[in-house]
Amino acid sequence: MNESTVIVPGWVGGDVDLREVGESQVASFRLASTPRYQRQGEWVDGPTSWFTVNCWRGLARHVAGSVRRGDAVVVHGRLRVDTWTRDDGSTSTTVVVDATSVGHDLNRGTATFTRPARRDGSAAEPGPAVEPAGAPAVEPVVEEGRPAA
């Protein structure tokens, strides 16, 4: 099947709506993505594109528990366009991303990851802290007058 996949960085534009659809859950939110570029040495915003993001099943529950209005996120998923006819006869179009993953954009802030409890009710054990092979040890950067994080 030919599906268009996209990675869209942006800002959550509204509250996450978690609802039941059949036997599954879906979380939906609006995502605003605004490109920035330089024009004559100044950074300017391009036009904002709005997407509806749908997250299903386990991802829906995690997104509903983690993502809030105003959060910077990166969404990966399948792109589709929904077109429908309104009551007045006019047509409307919405660009939708059916998300396969959603994460906070760590270029814009920090986040803490928490593993959910397992289905059997036991606590999930944290995985080992592993650095990529050949990765140098990272020391905290201390700026003058600021404590290390």
Q: What is the pLDDT of residues 18-29, one digit of tens each?
A: 999 999 999 999
> What pTM was computed for the model?
0.74
- Only one residue has tokens 């490109």, namely 35
Rounded CA-CA distance 119/59 in Å is 15
Return the higher-pLDDT residue of 118 and 30: 30
Asked if 97 and 75 count as a contact pair (C-beta separation under 8 A), the reply is yes
Domains of the chain, by residue range, sit at 4-104
Rounded CA-CA distance 94/80 in Å is 9
Rounded CA-CA distance 138/148 in Å is 13
Class assignment of domain 4-104?
mainly beta
The pLDDT tens digits for 78-136 are 999 999 999 999 999 999 999 999 999 999 999 988 887 777 766 555 555 444 454 44
pLDDT of residue 135: 46
